[in-house]
Structure 1
Amino acid sequence: MKWTSQSKNSGESMPCGGGDIGLNVWVENGDVLFYLSRSGAFDENNIFPKLGRVRVRISPNPFEKGAEFRQELKLQEGYVEIAGKSGNQEVILKVWIDVFNPVVHVDVSGNKPVTVNAWYESWRTEDREVQAREKNASSFKWLKDKVIASKDIVHTHQNGILFYHQNKDSTLFDLAVKQQQLEPLKPALWNPLKGMVYGGWMQGENMVPDLDKGKLKAVSGKYVNAPFQGFGLRSKAAARTHQLNVFLHIDDNSHVGKWKSGLAAVVSKVKKEEQTARKKTLDWWKAYWQRSHIAVNARKPDAASPIWQVGRNYQIFRYMLGCNAYGSYPTKFNGGLFTYDPVFIDSTLKFGPDYRSWGGGTFTAQNQRLVYWPMLKSGDFDMMSSQFNFYLRTLGNAEARTKHYWGHKGASFTEQIENFGLPNYAEYGQKRPKDFDPGLEYNAWLEYLWDTSLEFCLMMLDIERFTGSDISKYLPLIESCTVFFDEHYQYLAEKRGAKKVNQNGHLIIFPGSAAEMYKMTYNSVTTISGLKTVLSRLLALPEIYGTPDQRKDWESRLSRVPPLSFRQMQGHQTIAPAQAWERIQNTEIPQLYPVFPFSMYGVGLPDLEVAVNTWKYDTEAIKNRNYTSWHQDNIFCARLGLTEEAAALTIKKLQDSGRRFPAFWGPGHDWVPDHNWGGSGMIGLQEMLMQTVGDSIHLFPAWPQDWDVHFKLHAPHNTTVEGELKNGKVHNLKVIPEARKKDVVMAEWAKSY
């Protein structure tokens, strides 16, 4: 990805990252700028803020107007390189992040001596009230509560600039606990916002702070809609090379003194490892690209071709996911680490760069799942633990609320879930009827919607299936999620009548929800297919998992899950969204969740026609077809072997975004860059190319014959499949281990390899 002109603004920025740090990098009016973002930083209001902006200016300036210019994302090496040539002066600036340490490096080199000025810029130097629509970046969203964003602290420290934010004693967590009538449990609930301190230290080799009468000089300015103050470093003397470093640190349950000690430890570790850090980071990115790829029509690159763009954008979006490989929190669906000034997305949103729609510390489960499903076939198993650990950390809170409200066991994970495992503060409902169940969200879209957690349970089970690695630590979570449905719906049935189950011994899953689409359902398709698949997969685990008594419990729970429901649509049998429901809303197609993610229907599975009929003839499904954001129609079509439809939808998903950086899709239903848009695009492309059913590996089940492709994907049982399709013929098919080659089922049209 190479640009030969400077950017107009941050909306034309380029992503750069590694480990758990993301930067938006751009050059504007001769200055190099980047926003700093790190996974796990949340303020009192549960905003996920930028940690600041850095501005770098070189003198003489090689990026002045009329100079030769190049900004390039070095995808294979994972960094951004900016080059300028003015007359006989040449300068190259490299921005890279250490994958294994939280530090940003800016390396400047030139053929002649230059000086460097760098400013740390903050728009949070004073307390201020968060404005109406701006609250969408917090957990308050549309509420009328008065929300104060408290200031950061910036000052000099050891010839550098120290900046940090200390969360106040009272945070969004305290409000949510009180709102949700959980105060008796409060001392035992996990609270990640309490005492959180985040920030960093900007330092340059042979650079000193810009002082005024012994104090750090503050330069006032305004970028787009946000007034800021800049705090500068300047090089002591002109030189041909310069190094600028930004060390970042986050500490929860902390205080400023402890945080500073932790930051000092980060700096010390980086200094000790500086001779090997660059190579280790380059090696990591090399290994990342070696383990998986999909390149479409790579032998005939054509930037104007939407089909070629599909392959290129798959790769660069996977790069964006790799930038938060080891985050303490999952990559957020609504922008990840790469949000920027919102006015360049919606001209009415005249707010600062901390803004994103749908909250900062709120993790919408239906959207998050699409960010993490593609990591299985791409072999990025180590990156999935960020999402899994999110649920592990919040398990205690989810179980505690279940016990407190209803007196039974199991984890009730809601759809709009805060980073501490309780329902989102705004969507829980402020104006609740007096006798409304306090365990429920008073929200037309979210009521009774608990089953998305089952998808993450299935991902955990798939980790064992793909890699054989030990998933014992996830077993209590998976069990708790299935126990909740078993116990809660018997609890509700007993409150209505004398029997806990129906005449067939099945749960009566009412009231329920099929995604946010079909509400007040009786036996929702998403809940049933999720429970059947997860419990069946628990029982299929090697015998080392679960005691005999546990396995009897799994079998018993599975026996109580009711069957799916069906209905006639336009003269064809189709999968029904539920046995019954009270209302329809939103624009989803949950009746195809037994296709994806729960793999009960699809290529190589029984009764494929019923699922195909659901796509073709269900008028409600037809009405809600879409490709933007979290819509997964491309995945459904791929799983159903509908090649033409899958290809057309995948092109719409993964073709250039229309923004300067082609994988900055959105906003769609969410925000820019829309990571569940990219994630669902990745899944669909993978499923077009390879699907696994039992031990079988189906190649090209929904792949157009005229799309050349080189690929390497991962399959269950520690298997990789690599090969090339050229002019409808398969070349160089390599299956490791080779014994798995017998399990390959080639599309009928593909010529022998």
Structure 2
Amino acid sequence: MPVGAGDIGLNVWVENGDVLFYLGKSGAFDENNTLLKLGRVRLNISPNPFQGVTFRQELLLEKGQVVIAGQSNGVKAELLLWVDVHAPNVHVELKTDKKVELVATYENWRYKDLYPQKKENNANSWKWAPPKPVVTHRDSISAISNGLLFFHQNKPETAFDIVVGQQKLESVKDSLFNPLYPLISGGILRGQHMLFDGYHHGRYLDTDFMGWRLKSKKASTIHRLQATLLVRQAAELTDWKKEVEQQVEAWSTLRQVKQKAEKWWSNFWSRSYIAINPSAENTTDAAWQVGRNYQLFRYMLACNAYGEYPTKFNGGLFTYDPSRVESSFTFTPDFRNWGGGTHTAQNQRLVYWPMLKSGDFDMMEAQFKFYQRIQRNAEWRSKVYWGHAGASFTEQLENFGLPNPAEYNWKRPQDFDPGLEYNAWLEYQWDTVLEFCMMMLETHNYGGQSIKGYLPFVESCIRFFDEHYQYRARQRGSKILDQDGHLVFYPGSSAETYKMAYNASTTIAALQQVTKRMLALPAQDLEEKQRAYFESFLKKIPPLPTRTLDGKAMLAPAQVWARINNTEAPQLYPVFPWGIYGVGLPNIELARNTYWHDPDVQKFRSHVGWKQDNIFAARLGLTVEAKRLTLLKLCNADRRFPTFWGPGFDWVPDHNWGGSGMIGLQEMLLQTVDSQILLFPAWPEGWDVDFKLHAGRQTTVSGKLRNGKLIELQVFPVERKSDVVNMLEEKEYNM
């Protein structure tokens, strides 16, 4: 079971009577940019109450806690495991009806240097092309008063230094943001009335480890354990140690700390929910599972609500032993496919879009700060390589804003543009950052957050396209615009699929919508000079490409392209995320023709992983199709915990699988068009629902649907209730 809060995630399970959990923490990157686990904790109780048939392990979703209860060997026990929302502390509370002894063992597989080989390097920045032999350097673990201190301190040379050299940016290296050095990741494990009791070597599944034991001083009916985790850039180890000590919570404050954390979870659940067939007694009901799994996955996202780094699409904080995902991957628990510090925006976006309608605006800041930290590095790329302004963000970039070195490619033609990835999938794919620009702007529309701090970032991203494609045009000829006064976005890329594209629809739709949103800002947020610039730029964006196939007009992925490299459907991105076509919008048949009759869209259709056909279907009011895909997308995973989907195209748990499922379900239930709020635009017959979602203009909508009738509706602010359109009663509404 996953349990977590703040920016800590634990995998918790019971095995042979022992309670085990992995420690996951946002931002714990090593020199190779692997996102490290900070160890594993094993709890053994003697006599052991968890070895008999009377046993229960339950996730208390409303409190963010796991309770493990059992009775065996003459002892009845209850163990509570939870994470503080407001401080980086993991708490274990054990209560028994008879006195027992507790042994807590901190298990670490990085007690010595490790040498990952071949596919194991998919967990770091090197992937299939390490420039030299890779070493995962050992951690430091030692006994302290009442506990253990453990940490990984990065060496001075990291992936950052090697990538800067590879990509010919040494001249500006001192001006670049470097998140990997000096970085220290680790913590303290401390028990109340516990002492260090030695260490031992062992093996769990595929990996040797060393275990450091804490043992209770004497048998008792109450035991407490606390793990305090800290990831921080600190030039001096003494400073890091001092800070982690300051984060340790006193045992006497435990009750108040827990009450504060439980209140946070209560508020979290009250601000948004979707419960399908809530009165159903049969939990095997497929529709009920869809609603339950929506809630479970939202909970998993909330476990990294306040991380320094966003929730990773390829497992978040909840990855675990890789051979349990792929039997041949006999690697350490640090493994995940597609990198630890590597950011794949095409996947990440699906993790963060659903947070708007769920009202989780505070959880989006980690993703936005990620981009703001690396903005200057992206601007240096444009300046050094091409001599123009604007932030150049590639697909598959590192947490310091430069392209992943394996995807950038070490074997490049000598005269190849150093600003480009030499990569058939990723070349010229710049536009995914614009989805995060729109999310930044939408946090004001949905939640009233101030967005002034994000506007320089958005402007820099737009300027890149303006100035870069003028630069490209000058390389080709004497004119920078086409005969209609439009920029020519060539070479480009429509997602990763349509390559060497001319005027990719993903780029055009994104630039149109983000620029229009910037122009809609109030006068106090946008200076007249800026407004004039965006008005001029909007006129230079070409129209969305369309085409006719078998007599049917439809959206095109680009005007022209050279080849197909992946299996996405970017011709439908004007439907989602850009909202140019859909229920209640003009020319919906153009988009529906694309969904049903574009041969590539049909061939690529799926519910797996990052596929978003369920979202397209919902946005287009295709109720039967949306239901079919959502039942596939949000059904129970093929694992013991129902929302550990994957691996799909990525890893387990697949967070872009869960995110795309959340978005699709939200869109089936509620969509907005201008000032209108459309309820049930693609909602199936026979699905009762209790819901609360957020809409634009800082609106919340909650209600209950029973037997196809809306029996309860609350809208805040109340004057927005007149904007609500119940689509179940408006069958002819733009259908």
Give TM-score scaled by structure 1 length.
Answer: 0.96
Give the drift of 1:274.
3.5
1:48 equivalent to 2:35? Answer yes
Consecutive unaligned residues in structure 1, runs of 5 or more: 1-13, 211-216
Q: Which residue of 2 aligns with 1:7?
A: none
Give the drift of 1:129.
1.1
* Structure 1 counterpart SS, 2:36: coil
Q: Which residue of 2 aligns with 1:202?
A: 189
Q: Which residue of 2 aligns with 1:105?
A: 91
Q: In structure 1, what is the Cα distance between the partners aligned to 2:537 and 2:262?
A: 48
Q: Which residue of 1 aligns with 2:482?
A: 502
Q: In structure 2, what is the Cα distance between the partners aligned to 1:50 and 1:75?
A: 24
1:221 equivalent to 2:197? Answer no
1:551 equivalent to 2:531? Answer yes
Give the drift of 1:602.
0.5
- Say if 1:646 and 1:702, in contact at 8 Å, map to a contact too: yes
Q: Which residue of 1 aligns with 2:683?
A: 703
Q: In structure 2, what is the Cα distance between the partners aligned to 1:87 and 1:133?
A: 45
Q: In structure 2, what is the Cα distance between the partners aligned to 1:365 and 1:293?
A: 26
Alignment match of 1:243 (pick from 208, 224, 239): 224
Alignment match of 1:121 (pick from 99, 107, 111): 107
Q: Which residue of 1 aligns with 2:133?
A: 146
Q: In structure 1, what is the Cα distance between the partners aligned to 2:607 and 2:583?
A: 22
Percentage of matched positions with identical amino acids:
57
- Say if 1:58 and 1:116, in contact at 8 Å, map to a contact too: yes
Alignment match of 2:494 (pick from 498, 509, 514): 514
Alignment of 1:412-427 (within 5 A): 412-427=392-407
1:673 equivalent to 2:659? Answer no
Aligned length: 730
Give the drift of 1:89.
2.1
Alignment of 1:472-511 (within 5 A): 472-511=452-491
- Say if 1:56 and 1:116, in contact at 8 Å, map to a contact too: yes
- Say if 1:730 and 1:750, in contact at 8 Å, map to a contact too: no
When residues 33 and 479 of structure 1 are mapped into structure 2, their CA distance, relative to the original with a 3 A threshold, is same
Alignment match of 1:383 (pick from 320, 339, 363): 363
* Structure 1 counterpart SS, 2:44: strand
* Structure 2 counterpart SS, 1:148: coil
* Structure 2 counterpart SS, 1:17: strand
The list of structure 1 runs, each at least 4 consecutive aligned residues, that deviate by more than 2 angstroms after superposition, is 269-275, 748-751
Give the drift of 1:658.
1.5
- Say if 2:48 and 2:73, in contact at 8 Å, map to a contact too: no
- Say if 1:301 and 1:308, in contact at 8 Å, map to a contact too: no
1:189 equivalent to 2:170? Answer no
- Say if 2:708 and 2:728, in contact at 8 Å, map to a contact too: no
Alignment match of 2:391 (pick from 408, 411, 414): 411
One-letter amino acid of the counterpart of residue 24, structure 1 = N
Q: Which residue of 2 aligns with 1:5?
A: none
Q: Which residue of 2 aligns with 1:6?
A: none
Give the drift of 1:159.
2.0
One-letter amino acid of the counterpart of residue 132, structure 1 = K
Q: Deviations over 1:97-124 (max 9, x none)?
A: 0000001000000111111000000000
One-letter amino acid of the counterpart of residue 551, structure 2 = G
- Say if 1:126 and 1:150, in contact at 8 Å, map to a contact too: yes
One-letter amino acid of the counterpart of residue 190, structure 2 = Q
When residues 397 and 572 of structure 1 are mapped into structure 2, their CA distance, relative to the original with a 3 A threshold, is same
- Say if 1:413 and 1:450, in contact at 8 Å, map to a contact too: yes
Q: In structure 2, what is the Cα distance between the partners aligned to 1:631 and 1:128?
A: 36
Q: Which residue of 1 aligns with 2:446?
A: 466
- Say if 2:49 and 2:74, in contact at 8 Å, map to a contact too: no
Give the drift of 1:275.
4.5
Alignment match of 1:75 (pick from 57, 61, 68): 61
Alignment of 1:441-460 (within 5 A): 441-460=421-440
Q: Which residue of 1 aligns with 2:4?
A: 17
1:621 equivalent to 2:601? Answer yes
Consecutive unaligned residues in structure 2, runs of 5 or more: none
* Structure 2 counterpart SS, 1:50: strand
Give the drift of 1:272.
7.9
Q: Which residue of 2 aligns with 1:689?
A: 669
Give the drift of 1:253.
4.3
- Say if 2:420 and 2:427, in contact at 8 Å, map to a contact too: yes
Give the drift of 1:468.
2.4
Q: Which residue of 2 aligns with 1:662?
A: 642
1:60 equivalent to 2:14? Answer no
Q: Which residue of 2 aligns with 1:721?
A: 701
Give the drift of 1:67.
3.6
* Structure 2 counterpart SS, 1:438: coil
- Say if 2:84 and 2:257, in contact at 8 Å, map to a contact too: yes
Q: Which residue of 2 aligns with 1:344?
A: 324
Q: In structure 1, what is the Cα distance between the partners aligned to 2:691 and 2:406?
A: 44
Q: Deviations over 1:115-141 (max 9, x none)?
A: 100000000011121111100000101
One-letter amino acid of the counterpart of residue 236, structure 1 = K
- Say if 2:234 and 2:240, in contact at 8 Å, map to a contact too: no
One-letter amino acid of the counterpart of residue 300, structure 1 = A
When residues 447 and 207 of structure 1 are mapped into structure 2, their CA distance, relative to the original with a 3 A threshold, is same
Q: In structure 1, what is the Cα distance between the partners aligned to 2:329 and 2:214?
A: 32
Give the drift of 1:270.
5.5
Give the drift of 1:631.
0.5
Alignment match of 2:18 (pick from 10, 31, 50): 31
Alignment match of 2:569 (pick from 589, 614, 618): 589
Q: In structure 1, what is the Cα distance between the partners aligned to 2:546 and 2:726?
A: 32
Q: In structure 2, what is the Cα distance between the partners aligned to 1:42 and 1:369?
A: 21
Q: Which residue of 1 aligns with 2:711?
A: 731
Alignment match of 1:261 (pick from 236, 239, 242): 242
One-letter amino acid of the counterpart of residue 393, structure 2 = F
Alignment match of 1:93 (pick from 63, 66, 79): 79
Q: Which residue of 1 aligns with 2:351?
A: 371
* Structure 2 counterpart SS, 1:722: strand
- Say if 1:166 and 1:255, in contact at 8 Å, map to a contact too: no
- Say if 1:388 and 1:460, in contact at 8 Å, map to a contact too: yes
Q: Deviations over 1:251-278 (max 9, x none)?
A: 11433111101112212x6568544210
Q: In structure 2, what is the Cα distance between the partners aligned to 1:167 and 1:32?
A: 31
One-letter amino acid of the counterpart of residue 406, structure 1 = W
Give TM-score scaled by structure 2 length.
Answer: 0.98
One-letter amino acid of the counterpart of residue 102, structure 1 = P
